[in-house]
Every structure is written in structure tokens, then in C-alpha cells.
């Protein structure tokens, strides 16, 4: 057992010939499966609750397995998707998260390129990078009051545009830092060759470097899409009617008459599915992304 | 072949769904002057051209192209207060030609969004379904639109403040002017399980334990506590095999938990008297200097009492909002709950309730002693006049003074205020709209309704009559708990709410909680301005010196 | 070649953007912290006759004209210098003290747990186990689940009378201490997978030869863990720690949805309090002062890690 628990050896070993797993490996596998199930349970529970009749919310026994513990119904889903407010929230969130991601990529990718390739003298590149990074840890609550007042002055309260601008601000540093890492990993000789051939810097960036970096740039776009989608504090500060997003709509499942578990589960699922799916598409880049490029996954 | 049939069927359904609403989908005008309004669930409300006012008519679309937005505590198409708006929206849209946006906001955000809109003068919302405790922040500042002229014009669906008991009318008006459109009537009464209290075995056991006959319903809070203790932890309900509780409370912070304390403490802390002066009929502040009364010995005793009462219910209730506590009672797990009219109506909803027909209601008990602020000591009191309460929001529409379309907005709010609409709302538990108007009380109670009206709507006759009697006794009680409607009320209550929650969860003692509340209240008063607050407070409670 | 002026063309848009959208608001909120700003809107209304489509006045049956009211508005702001009053209040306000305590306690409970659990899971997944790619993918889900939705979900899970954990008898949300633990559990649920993923990636990057060599030298599993792996992973631990600390100090969504900051103010985090102060009770100056308090703490942490970070991005 002590032998098997030795860390750090198994993974990089050459593919072992097919054989039956040892007892220790079987035990560890079971442990891993159980751990995964614990982490998936809340999501499963939301699904289970969303399929129940309201009166069954607390009366269903055990793990609430559909068809075994109760007869599932899609009524709650139908009710929620039928109201125009749900559809509007979905549309808003899609527009805002997409718009903010694109804007952040537009501004962030060239900056990332600059940090990866050019040499800045007054402030060294790595200090600039850390400066971008420090924007990422800025607590949103420190800025929401002025954001609110600025958007009021600009007449942009309760607009998708305001939320696109603000979300882009909070995800921009993320894009800069992780895309920078991608460019660093690419050989600069290709661009240098292009430059020697008379290409402009923009041309070298746009036609040589960017296509090579595209998978990673797209992946960071997907990750920041999830961040923008999940934002709550900016939405609740800026939106009041037209621009209500899915997380804010989600908070609306709480009633003065108590939490309506059934609607809440549906709305929670609606809120969680898009960012989770989008993030899974970017799986390969997640470790690097979430550690802001500091750890390569 | 079959596939193409199915396709044709689908197309037909689509065509039906796309049929214009003008075809009288929700409104039918009869030649005899009566009008049928068809609710989304298929029920028909009978009204008349006269009741609908001069603007609406078979060929009229008086607000064609007008779009209005009304905020409400979120709850969805079947939620409290928001539900009826969803139900009446298609009717109004057909009548007016306008479009209604229902802006649902979580309870904790509703006030904020309203105040932001009003302070900035944005006018994004045309009306708010307010809690009456927000009046102090919106009416004196000139944010609300007075509706008296619209009511008198005869153009709009008609209703009258005269249908309200004086205690409720006071919540819909400000210094004699009308601002609120009739909708909800909030006040807490006691719900109890009659079959349990009147079971001879339980009665004998209770007498043996406490030495007096089990009163059904209890007349004093102290009796209620004894009964609640007696039943707590015993499995007196046959629906399951688990132990049941005495009294269930809804105590979640940030919502409406503090109302329990208000209703309960009234009879501990208010000194009855002929008029409202410095020591009589006051509850919140000393009307002369705005010093908080909230930590008076009477309030303190009430909070200690509430802590004891909490011990006779499920401990999880510290985190429960209304729905969870009600469901507990509806599932038959508690002998008592004291709460709003929703409970009585929800008892009748057999998809949620096990206790239809065994859901009796009574006016709230009284404490057998109260703190006399003049004598500065506790006084034993038996058989004193009932202290009623209008605890809660009495949620209703108030039009924004920044609205560009107050007329269209009023035409919607008043449509929900006509008698048949208000009656329908009160009879259905999920609407969150509770009874309190004369035409909702039974004839023998001084109203105009008949018991059949309720039985037809699915009520148990016995439940309905005790429920309506309880509300009648409450709203017409000789002494009322004064309702706080001064600027900053929401903030004062928020402070109280947090401290009460701390006391109920054991993080603070009752005395600490109330003393801390008083200290924080003083800061709010200082910030808003003491002199101004004294003036508004005296006006709000009808101070007579 | 790489020192051309063109570099500014690439870099500046992002820099200007961040200046505009973070430094300007921060400056503005500093102003708010020192001034008391009151905004009032004056309303006037006049009644106009109501006209129909043809421009003719609309009459009632009794011949009087129908009217509609028309609104006009005027806005005024008054600013008054209040000096350090808001910061002094910050210093003595018991609610602030409690919020600081709650936030720190939360950080102390949540962050080390996430790191430890994440590391253990990474060790486990680094073994030869079946279906590792599938399980690893499944573990990703919590990270991207909408926090506000997650908090509401856990409300149903922590529901004490009938929820799936009801049998434990733990007062998840009704006891002041447990409520904070519950908030921490939600955060742990959401962010342990993140720590896990990063540790796993780092472990897989450890060259086998190092571990083998240690084993040949007769080191035990624990020795390898402490002497070989942990020193190698130290930079990773630091970056995770920094990111999690900065995130955890922002705690807002979970108490907002799960507990409303209660019972009492037992789970009212610092961000939540600042948000309520500013955008619920409109005490903008005080809220700005609070925000600055938090900003200073976060900046201190970043500075503390600064040198380490510079190496990471060298």
C-alpha cells in the first residue's frame, strides 16, 4: 500500500501493457470516483429537484433519482422558459458575455503580443505584466459605486453596452497575461523573417503570430466568456430592467414568500450550463488560464 | 401520411397561438353592460362597463403603443404579489392596447432599485409594488404620484378607500392624500390546529401538566407558550413518524423575520391609552426626542419570550423565510404559526397542504402583562382591548412621480383593485394578496361576502369563517401597533432585523441585541436629522401631545 | 528590432482602457470618500389636454376634456467636504469590525482547505487510476458554475428540515458559526477542483528521474513528498495562494444568496457590507471609504507576493 501511494511516478511512465489493475489501484480508483461524485452531487441535486413537482421538493426520499424515487416532470422547465423575462435574461447574458470577451480579446491580444515580443525600457516588461495582473485582483466592490455614477452620467444605466464595457475591463488583464504566455512560447524567428521581408509589425502580428496562437487565444476567449457570464455584482449594480442577466434573474427566484426550490433549480441549471460547456471546450488551456499563465498545464 | 397530418396539426396550433388578442381573447363585452374577464387559468371574473370606467370599451385601445414598467418583489408567474400581475397582464393589454413590463426584483434589491430610480429621477419605472413601510422614503420627498384626481375622474376602473378598515386606509394614504391603489392587506393572525387542541386526550394531558384547561385558541401569549411546549417534540401528527413541533416561525435575516417580533411585542410594549402621547400608544420612538423605545423593558421581555417560543419549534427556522415555515405548518408539523393571510388561503391548496379543514385562525393572543411607560413598571393586564397589527408590507402599487404615463399605469393598477379582482386574489393563496376589505368579510361579520363565495373557490367553510373573523377582529381592533412610515424606515428595520436574528441564533443576548439596535438607530436619526425625524414621526403616528 | 515605436501602438489601447475604467473610478471614489454628495431631482407636472390621433381634444361623456399629465425634471447635486470623517467611522464601526472578522475567518477556513484537499486529490489522481481523463474533466465543472447559482443550490442542499444533508442534524444555516462554515464549504466545493487541477498539472511536470533517484536512495513516500515534491511545487503553491487569497477576500455572491449575511451579521462579508452601504442605503461616501480599506489590504497582499510574481513572469 505504501508503495502504491508513492506520488508522482505513475503518470509519466511509458504506457504499461494491458493488465488487470492491482488491488491498490482498484481501491484508489474507487476513491477517485467517490471524490468526483461528491463534487458532482450538487449539480446532480439541482437537476433532480428541477424535475420534481413542487410538493415533492422535500418529500422525495434518498438521493432523489428520477423514475426510481419520483416521477419526473418538465413542468418547471416549461414554466420558466415560457416567461419572456427568462428569455430576455438569456439573450442579455449571451450578448454581454460575447461582447465583453470579444472586446477584451481585441484590446488584450495586441497588448499581450507587445509584452511578449517588444522590449520596454522605462518600465520593464515583467513589471508591466504584473501591473496587468494586479488589476485582476482588484475587488469589484471598490469600483461599483463609481461605475454606477459614471454610467448614470453617460446615460448608460441598464444597458447591455455598459455591462459589456465593465465586464471587458475585469477580464482584460486576464487575456493580456495568458495570451502573452502563448506568444512567448512561439518562436519569434518566423515573425523576424517576415519583418526582414518587409512586413510591418502589425502584419507580422496579424498574419504570422496570431494564426499560430489562435487556438490558445480562442480558448482564453471561452474562459473569459464564462467569467463575464458568471458576473453578478456588476449586473446587479447596473441592470434594473432591460439588461437583467441570467445570474440576476437567478436571484429573482427568491420570493418574499420564500425560496421556490423548484424554480431556483431550473434557473440555476440554466445559469450554469452555458459557462460550464464553454469552459469544457477550452479544457486544454484551463490550468494555464486559471493560473494566469504561471503554471503550464 | 401520418407525419404530414401531424405537421398540419402543428401548423394549426401555431396559427391559433398567433391569432390577434383583439379577438376578445381575455375580455368579452356583453350587451347588458356586463363584462367577462378571463383569467389565464380559465376562470371568468364578472364585472361591468361602469366598474371598468370610461376609458375602456369594446372598440377602445386608449393606451395603444404605451409601454409601462412596474417593479415587484420577484416570485414569478405563480409567486406572491407578482403572480396576480402576470394573471392580469393579458387582460389589461387587451383592454388598453398597451404593453406591461413586470420587473421582478429580489426582495433585498427591490427597495434599492426603486430608490436609485427615484433619487436619480430616471423615470424608468412607472410604478412600484411597494411595502407600506417605504412610504416615508418616497412620499415626503415628492417621489410618489397622488392618485385622487385619477380616482375621481371616472375614467378608470373604480374602487374606493371606503372599503378599507381605517387601519389599512392609513397605509395607502399620506396626510389625507391617496397614493396607493388597493391590493394587499397584511396583518398577522394566529393559525392553529383545532383538532389537535380540542382532542380530549391531549386536553387531559395538558391539564395534568400545567394545571389549567387547554384554551382553544389561547388568549394570552403565555398560554400559547405552555401549549407550544406541551406539544413540541411529541409525534401528535399521524402523517409521519417523526416528532412534531409547537410553534413554527420564519426568522431568516434580510427578509421578513423581524415582523414576528413586531406583532408579538406590541402587547408587551405598547401602553394603552386614550390618545397618542409621549407614553401611550407609542412603540418605536419617544415622539418628543426620537430616543428609541426599542430597548424598553417591555420590548426586552417580548424578545426573551420570543426566544423561548423559538425553543418550541424546529431550530432550522432561524434560516427560514416565509415559504419554508409555512410549508412546515401546511405539512402538519406544527400546532401554531402566526403569520399573514397567505397561510389561511394556502391551507386550502391541497397540492401543498395536508390540513385543509383543520386550519383554524384567531386574532393574535395578548400578553398577560405589559410595560407601562408612564409608571415605568410592568402591569398585569387581563381582558384588555385587543392590540391589532398591520404588520407586513400590504404590498400595493404606487405610481412614480417621474412616470411619463401615470394614466396608463393607473389603469392597470386600478384594474387589479376592482372588487371581483381583489376578491379573486384574496381567495387564492398563491397570489400573496390577503383579505382585509369589507366586501371580503362575511355578512355576519359586517361585510358583504357570503360563505359560498369562498366554498366555491375551494375553501373549507369552517376554515374560511374563522379566518375571515380573525382578520376582521385584527384590522378593526381598538388599539393598533403603530406602523413605522418615516424616512429611513427600511434602514431602521434592517438594523432591527439583523440584531433580532443575532438574538434568535444565540449570537447576542436579547438585551445586547436591543441595546445595539437602539445605538445604531440613534446614528441613523443623527444622519437623517433629528428635528426632521421628530416632525415626520409625530405626523406618522398621529401624535396628540 | 523589438524596440520599435510600434510597440506602443500594440500596448497602449489596453493600458489606456484600464486607466479609464479602473483608475478613474478609483479616483472618483476617493473623492466620494472625502465629500458628502447629495443628489436631488425636482419634479414639476402640468396637465395637458389629451389629443386623439387627429389632434382633437378627447372629451369625457360629460363634455369635460380628458387630460394627461406631463412631467419635467431638474437635477441638482451638492457636495460638502467631510475630510476624514468616513475613514474615522470605518475605524470605530462595530459592523465593519465584524465584517473584517467574518472575512478573515472565512479566508482562514476556505483557502487552506482548498489547497490541502486539492493537493491530496492531485496525489490521488496522479496514481494509475481508471478513467482518469473522464474524472478529471468532471472535476472541472464546479469551477465554472455560476457562483450565485451555486450558492442558491447549496441553500437547498443545506436545507435543515428535509434537505439531502438534513440527517446530519448540523444547523448549517441557522447557527452563526455553522453558517460561516457553510459559506466556506460552498467556496471549497467550487475552488478545490481548481487547486486540484493546477497541482495535478504541476505533479505531472515533475521529472520522474528525481523521484526515482530519491527512491533508490531509500527515501520513504513521505520523504519524497516533503523533500522532493513540495520544494518543487513551491512556486505553484504561492501562485495558487495569491489567487485564492485575492478572490476569497472579495467574497460576495455566496453570502448574498446563501445566507443574506445572517444569521444576524454572522456571514456578512466585507464586500457585502460595502455593497449594502453604498447601493442599498446610499451612503456612498462611507461605502467608498470601505472599498478603499479592502483595496489597501489586497494591494498589500499583492505587494507581498510581488517579487515572487516578477520571477514567474520574467
For C57, the grid coordinates are: 381634444
Contact A39 C1 (CB under 8 A): no
Q: Distance from B356 to chain C by nearest Cα, in Å? A: 22
Task: Assess whether pLDDT exceeds 60 at residue B11.
Answer: no
Domain residue limits at C190: 86-312
**Which of the other chains make 3 or more beta carbon contacts under 8 angstroms with chain C?**
A, B
Query: Rounded to whole angstroms, what are the CA distances from A18 to A9, B414, C124?
Result: 18, 77, 21
Same domain as C295, residue C154: yes
Nearest CA of chain B to the CA of C70: how many Å? 7
Give C298 to chain B, closest Cα distance, Å: 28
Domain assignment present for C60: yes
- Give residue A1's pLDDT: 33
CB contact under 8 A, C202 and A295: yes
Last residue of a domain, one of C20, C51, C83: C83
Is-same-fold flag (B23-181+396-432; B189-391+478-541)? yes
User: What percent of chain B clears pLDDT 70, i.e. is strictly above it?
Assistant: 96
Q: DSSP readout, B291-323? A: -B-TTSHHHHHHHHHHHHHHTTS-GGGGG--HH
Domains of chain A: 24-73 (no CATH), 80-290 (1.10.3720.10)
- Nearest beta carbon to residue C204 from set A12, A59, A134: A12
Q: What is the mean pLDDT of residues C243-267?
A: 86
3 state SS of C266: coil
Q: Which of C296, C268, C259, C279 is nearest to C93 (CA)?
A: C268
Partnered with residue B245 across adjacent β-strands are B334
Cα A57 to Cα A50, A76, B313: the distances in Å are 9, 12, 21
Q: How far, in Å, CA of A140 to CA of B24, rounded?
A: 51
User: For B31-75, what is each residue's pLDDT tens digit?
Assistant: 888 999 998 778 889 999 999 988 898 888 889 889 999 999 877
Pick the closest to residue A53 from A79, A31, A72 (CA basis): A72
- A200-240 pLDDT, tens digit per residue, is 888 889 988 999 999 889 988 998 999 999 999 899 888 88
pLDDT in tens, B334-383: 999 999 988 988 899 887 788 899 999 999 999 999 999 999 999 998 77
Partners of chain B (3+ Cβ pairs below 8 A): A, C
CA distances from B154 to A143, B146, C60 (A): 50, 16, 9
**C-alpha to C-alpha distance for B253 and B502, rounded to whole angstroms:** 9
- Residue B104 has its nearest CB partner, among A158, A252, A258, at A252
Number of domains into which chain C is organized: 2
Name which of B79, B120, B351 is nearest A55 (Cβ-Cβ): B351
| Domain end residue (candidates: C49, C83, C117) | C83
Residue C1 lies in a domain: no
- Which positions in chain A touch C291 (Cβ < 8 Å)? 139, 141-143, 145
State the cell numbers at C5. 515605436
Correct CATH for B23-181+396-432 of 3.30.70.141, 3.40.1050.10, 3.30.70.260, 3.40.190.10? 3.40.190.10
* Cell 387559468 sits on residue: B41
Answer yes or no: do C152 and C240 share one domain.
yes
Which one has a higher pLDDT value, B289 or C131?
A: B289
Any residues with CB less than 8 A from the CB of A63 and at least 6 apart, and which?
A48, A69, C164
Same domain as C79, residue C97: no
The pLDDT tens digits of the residues spanning B224-274 come to 999 999 999 988 877 777 888 999 999 887 777 889 999 999 989 998 888
- Which residues, other chains included, contact B161 with Cβ-Cβ below 8 Å and sequence gap of 6+? B169, B172, B173, B178, B182
DSSP secondary structure code for residue A21 in this structure: P
CB-based contact, A79 to chain B, within 8 Å: yes
Question: For testing the chain A interface, which of B80, B105, B325 should be mutated: the one with the most A CBs within 10 Å?
Answer: B105
Query: pLDDT tens across C125-158, in order?
Result: 988 888 888 888 888 889 888 998 899 889 888 8
- Rounded to whole angstroms, the Cα distance separating B535 from B8 reads 71
**Across A71-99, average pLDDT:** 87
Question: pLDDT tens digits, residue range C258-309?
Answer: 888 878 788 999 999 988 888 777 778 888 888 888 888 888 887 877 777 6
The three-state DSSP-derived secondary structure of C107-140 is HHHHHHHHHHHHHHHHHHHCCCCCCHHHHHHHHH
Within a domain: residue C100?
A: yes
User: Which region, left, alpha or beta, applies to residue C267 given φ > 0 means left and ψ of -120 to 50 means alpha?
Assistant: alpha
Show me where the domains of chain B are located: 23-181+396-432, 189-391+478-541
Distance of alpha carbon B271 from alpha carbon B378, whole angstroms: 10
- Does residue C71 sit in the same domain as residue C114? no
Could you say which DSSP state residue C314 is in?
-
Which of residues C24, C52, C83 is at a domain's end?
C83
* 3-state per-residue secondary structure call for A213-227: HHHHHHHHHHHHHHH
Radius of gyration of chain C (CA): 28
Residues C212 and C257 in one domain: yes
- Quote the percentage of chain A above a pLDDT of 90: 23
- Residues C92 and C193 both lie in one domain: yes
- Long-range Cβ contacts of A132-136 (<8 Å, 24+ apart): A132/A172, A132/A173, A132/A176, A132/A177, A132/C14, A132/C18, A133/A173, A133/A177, A133/A292, A133/C309, A133/C313, A134/A173, A134/C299, A134/C302, A135/A172, A135/A173, A135/C18, A135/C22, A136/A170, A136/A173, A136/A174, A136/A177, A136/A292, A136/C246
Q: Does the structure show a pLDDT above 60 at A65? A: yes
Owner of C-alpha cell 388561503: B345
Mean per-residue pLDDT of chain C: 84
**Which residues from C are below 8 Å from B506, CB to CB?**
175-176
Supply φ then ψ for residue B180, to 5 degrees: -95, 145
Say yes or no for a CB contact (<8 Å) between A232 and C252.
yes
Same domain, C28 and C140: no
So what's the pLDDT on residue A168? 94
Question: Looking at the structure, do residues C216 and C281 belong to the same domain, yes or no?
Answer: yes
Residue B76: per-residue pLDDT = 73
**What's the CA gap between B259 and B275, in Å, rounded?**
25
ipTM value, please give it.
0.84
Q: Which pLDDT value is given to residue C236?
A: 84
Share the mean pLDDT of chain A. Answer: 82
**Whether the predicted pLDDT of B16 surpasses 80:** no
Residue B6 above 50 pLDDT?
A: no
Whether chain C has a CB inside 8 Å of the CB on B301: the answer is: no
Long-range contacts from B282-288, C-beta under 8 angstroms, 24+ separation: B282/B373, B282/B482, B282/B541, B283/B481, B283/B482, B284/B482, B284/B484, B284/B492, B284/B537, B285/B521, B285/B533, B285/B537, B287/B534, B287/B537, B287/B538, B287/B541, B287/B543, B288/B534
Q: Which residue has the higher pLDDT, A279 or A31?
A: A31
> Is C75 within a domain?
yes
CATH number of the domain enclosing C234? 1.10.3720.10
Tell me the range of A21-30, B324-333, C226-235 where mean pLDDT is highest: B324-333
> Which residues are registered as beta bridge partners of C47?
C69
**From the CA of C128, how many Å to the nearest CA of chain B?**
44
pLDDT tens for each residue of A143-173: 888 888 888 888 888 899 999 999 999 999 8
Lowest mean pLDDT across A50-59, B145-154, B361-370, B417-426: A50-59
The DSSP secondary-structure symbol of A8 reads T
Which superfamily is assigned to B189-391+478-541 in CATH? Periplasmic binding protein-like II (3.40.190.10)
Q: Do C37 and C96 reside in the same domain of the chain?
A: no
Mutant choice from A150, A246, A256, A258 vs B, greatest count of B C-beta within 10 A? A256
The CA distance from C150 to C29, in Å, is 31
Assess whether C51 and C106 both reside in one domain: no
Cβ within 8 Å of C, B 398-427: 401-404, 406-407
* C62 and C120 assigned to the same domain: no
**Partners of residue B120 in chain C, C-beta under 8 Å:** 39, 41, 75
CA distance B216 to C251: 49
Q: What is the pLDDT of residue A18?
A: 54
Q: Is residue C140 in some structural domain?
A: yes
Find the residue in A nearest to C201 (Cα): A297
- Provide the grid cell at B498: 439583523
Cα-based angle B457, B458, B463 (whole degrees, multiple of 5): 110
Amino acid at each position: 500500500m505504501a508503495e502504491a501511494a508513492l506520488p508522482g511516478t505513475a503518470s509519466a511512465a511509458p504506457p504499461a501493457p494491458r493488465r488487470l489493475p492491482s488491488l491498490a489501484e482498484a481501491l484508489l480508483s474507487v476513491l477517485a470516483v467517490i471524490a468526483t461524485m461528491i463534487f458532482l452531487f450538487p449539480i446532480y441535486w439541482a437537476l433532480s429537484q428541477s424535475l420534481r413537482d413542487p410538493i415533492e421538493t422535500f418529500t422525495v426520499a434518498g438521493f432523489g433519482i428520477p423514475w426510481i424515487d419520483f416521477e419526473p416532470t418538465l413542468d418547471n422547465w416549461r414554466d420558466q422558459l415560457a416567461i419572456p423575462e427568462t428569455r430576455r435574461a438569456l439573450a442579455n447574458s449571451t450578448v454581454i458575455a460575447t461582447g465583453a470577451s470579444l472586446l477584451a480579446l481585441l484590446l488584450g491580444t495586441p497588448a499581450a503580443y507587445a509584452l511578449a515580443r517588444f522590449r520596454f525600457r522605462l518600465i520593464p516588461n515583467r513589471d508591466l505584466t504584473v501591473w496587468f495582473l494586479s488589476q485582476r485582483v482588484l475587488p469589484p466592490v471598490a469600483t461599483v459605486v463609481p461605475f454606477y455614477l459614471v454610467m448614470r452620467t453617460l446615460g448608460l444605466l441598464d444597458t447591455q453596452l455598459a455591462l459589456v464595457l465593465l465586464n471587458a475591463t475585469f477580464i482584460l488583464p486576464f487575456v493580456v497575461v495568458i495570451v502573452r504566455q502563448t506568444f512567448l512560447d512561439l518562436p519569434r524567428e518566423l515573425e523576424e523573417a517576415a519583418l526582414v521581408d518587409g512586413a510591418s509589425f502589425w502584419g507580422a502580428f496579424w498574419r504570422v503570430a496570431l494564426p499560430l496562437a489562435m487556438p490558445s487565444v480562442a480558448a482564453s476567449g471561452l474562459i473569459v466568456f464564462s467569467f463575464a457570464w458568471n458576473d453578478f455584482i456588476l449586473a446587479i449594480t447596473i441592470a434594473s430592467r432591460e439588461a437583467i442577466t441570467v445570474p440576476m434573474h437567478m436571484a429573482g427566484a427568491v420570493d418574499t414568500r420564500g425560496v421556490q426550490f423548484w424554480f431556483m433549480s431550473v434557473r440555476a441549471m440554466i445559469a450554469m450550463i452555458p459557462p460550464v460547456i464553454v469552459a469544457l471546450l477550452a479544457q486544454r488551456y484551463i490550468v494555464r488560464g486559471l493560473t494566469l499563465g504561471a503554471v503550464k498545464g | 401520411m401520418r407525419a404530414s397530418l401531424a405537421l398540419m396539426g402543428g401548423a394549426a396550433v401555431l396559427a391559433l397561438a398567433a391569432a390577434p388578442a383583439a379577438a376578445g381573447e381575455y375580455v368579452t363585452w356583453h350587451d347588458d353592460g356586463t363584462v367577462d374577464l378571463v383569467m389565464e387559468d380559465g376562470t371568468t371574473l364578472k364585472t361591468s362597463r361602469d366598474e371598468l370606467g370610461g376609458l375602456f370599451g369594446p372598440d377602445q385601445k386608449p393606451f395603444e403603443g404605451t409601454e409601462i414598467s412596474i417593479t415587484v418583489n420577484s416570485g414569478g408567474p405563480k409567486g406572491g404579489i407578482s403572480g396576480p400581475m402576470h394573471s392580469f397582464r393579458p387582460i389589461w393589454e387587451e383592454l388598453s392596447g398597451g404593453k406591461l413590463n413586470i420587473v421582478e426584483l429580489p426582495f433585498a434589491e427591490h427597495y434599492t432599485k426603486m430608490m436609485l430610480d427615484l433619487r436619480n429621477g430616471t423615470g424608468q419605472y412607472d410604478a412600484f409594488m411597494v411595502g407600506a413601510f417605504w412610504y416615508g422614503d418616497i412620499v415626503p420627498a415628492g417621489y410618489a404620484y397622488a392618485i385622487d384626481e385619477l380616482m375621481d375622474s371616472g375614467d378608470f376602473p373604480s374602487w374606493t378607500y371606503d372599503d378599507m378598515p381605517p387601519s389599512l386606509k392609513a397605509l395607502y394614504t399620506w396626510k389625507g392624500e391617496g397614493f396607493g391603489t388597493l391590493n394587499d392587506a397584511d396583518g398577522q393572525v394566529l393559525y392553529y390546529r383545532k383538532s389537535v387542541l380540542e382532542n380530549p386526550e391531549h386536553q387531559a394531558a395538558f391539564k395534568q401538566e400545567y394545571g389549567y384547561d387547554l384554551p382553544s385558541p389561547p388568549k394570552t401569549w403565555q398560554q400559547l407558550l405552555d401549549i407550544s411546549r406541551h406539544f413540541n417534540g411529541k409525534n401528535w401528527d399521524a402523517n409521519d413518524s417523526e416528532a412534531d413541533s409547537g410553534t413554527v416561525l420564519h426568522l431568516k435575516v434580510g427578509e421578513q423575520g423581524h415582523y414576528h417580533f413586531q406583532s408579538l411585542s406590541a402587547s408587551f410594549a405598547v401602553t394603552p391609552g386614550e390618545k397618542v402621547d409621549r407614553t401611550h400608544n407609542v412603540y418605536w420612538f419617544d415622539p418628543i426626542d426620537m430616543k428609541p423605545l426599542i430597548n424598553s423593558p417591555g420590548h426586552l421581555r417580548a424578545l426573551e419570550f420570543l426566544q423561548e417560543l423559538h425553543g418550541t419549534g424546529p431550530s432550522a427556522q432561524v434560516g427560514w423565510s416565509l415559504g419554508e415555515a409555512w410549508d412546515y405548518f401546511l405539512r402538519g408539523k406544527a400546532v401554531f404559526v402566526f403569520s399573514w393571510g397567505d397561510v389561511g388561503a394556502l391551507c386550502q391548496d391541497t397540492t401543498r397542504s395536508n390540513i385543509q379543514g383543520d386550519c383554524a385562525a384567531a386574532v393574535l393572543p395578548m400578553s398577560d402583562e405589559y410595560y407601562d411607560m408612564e409608571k415605568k413598571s410592568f402591569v398585569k393586564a387581563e381582558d384588555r382591548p385587543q392590540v391589532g397589527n398591520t404588520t407586513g408590507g400590504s404590498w400595493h402599487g404606487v405610481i412614480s412621480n417621474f412616470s411619463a404615463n401615470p394614466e396608463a399605469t393607473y389603469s392597470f393598477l386600478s384594474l387589479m383593485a376592482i372588487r371581483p379582482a381583489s376578491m379573486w386574489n384574496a381567495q387564492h393563496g398563491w397570489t400573496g394578496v390577503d383579505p382585509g376589505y369589507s366586501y371580503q368579510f362575511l355578512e355576519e361579520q359586517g361585510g358583504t361576502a357570503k360563505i359560498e363565495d369562498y366554498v366555491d373557490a375551494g375553501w373549507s367553510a369552517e376554515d374560511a369563517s374563522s379566518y375571515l373573523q380573525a382578520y376582521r377582529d385584527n384590522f378593526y381592533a381598538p388599539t393598533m401597533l403603530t406602523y413605522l412610515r418615516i424616512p429611513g424606515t427600511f434602514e431602521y428595520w434592517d438594523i432591527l432585523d439583523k440584531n433580532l436574528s443575532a438574538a434568535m441564533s444565540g449570537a447576542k443576548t436579547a438585551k445586547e441585541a436591543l441595546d445595539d439596535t437602539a445605538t445604531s438607530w440613534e446614528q441613523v436619526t443623527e444622519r437623517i436629522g433629528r428635528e426632521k425625524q421628530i416632525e415626520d414621526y409625530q405626523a406618522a403616528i398621529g401624535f396628540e401631545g | 528590432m523589438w524596440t520599435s515605436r510600434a510597440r506602443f501602438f500594440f500596448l497602449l489601447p489596453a493600458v489606456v482602457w484600464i486607466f479609464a475604467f479602473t483608475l478613474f473610478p478609483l479616483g472618483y471614489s476617493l473623492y466620494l470618500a472625502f465629500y458628502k454628495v447629495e443628489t436631488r431631482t425636482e419634479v414639476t407636472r402640468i396637465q395637458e389636454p389629451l389629443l386623439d390621433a387627429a389632434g382633437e381634444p378627447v372629451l369625457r361623456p360629460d363634455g369635460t376634456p380628458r387630460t394627461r399629465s406631463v412631467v419635467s425634471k431638474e437635477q441638482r447635486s451638492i457636495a460638502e467636504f467631510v475630510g476624514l470623517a468616513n475613514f474615522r467611522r470605518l475605524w470605530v464601526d462595530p459592523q465593519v469590525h465584524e465584517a473584517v472578522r467574518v472575512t478573515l475567518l472565512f479566508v482562514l477556513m476556505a483557502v487552506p482547505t482548498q489547497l490541502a484537499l486539492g493537493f491530496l486529490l492531485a496525489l490521488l489522481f496522479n496514481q494509475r487510476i481508471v478513467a482518469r481523463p473522464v474524472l478529471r474533466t468532471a472535476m472541472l465543472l464546479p469551477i465554472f458554475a455560476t457562483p450565485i447559482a451555486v450558492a442558491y443550490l447549496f441553500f437547498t442542499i443545506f436545507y435543515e428540515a428535509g434537505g439531502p444533508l438534513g440527517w446530519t442534524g448540523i444547523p448549517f444555516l441557522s447557527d452563526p458559526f455553522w453558517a460561516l462554515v457553510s459559506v466556506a464549504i460552498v467556496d471549497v466545493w467550487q475552488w478545490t477542483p481548481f487547486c486540484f487541477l493546477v497541482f495535478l498539472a504541476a505533479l505531472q511536470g515533475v521529472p520522474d528521474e528525481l523521484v526515482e533517484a530519491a527512491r533508490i536512495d531509500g527515501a520513504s513516500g513521505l520523504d519524497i513528498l516533503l523533500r522532493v515534491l513540495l520544494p518543487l511545487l513551491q512556486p505553484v503553491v504561492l501562485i495558487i495562494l495569491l489567487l485564492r487569497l485575492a478572490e476569497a477576500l472579495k467574497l460576495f455572491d455566496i453570502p448574498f444568496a446563501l445566507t443574506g449575511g445572517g444569521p444576524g451579521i454572522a456571514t456578512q462579508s466585507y464586500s457585502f457590507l460595502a455593497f449594502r452601504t453604498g447601493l442599498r442605503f446610499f451612503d456612498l461616501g462611507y461605502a467608498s471609504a470601505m472599498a478603499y480599506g479592502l483595496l489597501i489590504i489586497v494591494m498589500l497582499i499583492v505587494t507581498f507576493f510581488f517579487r515572487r510574481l516578477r520571477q514567474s513572469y520574467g
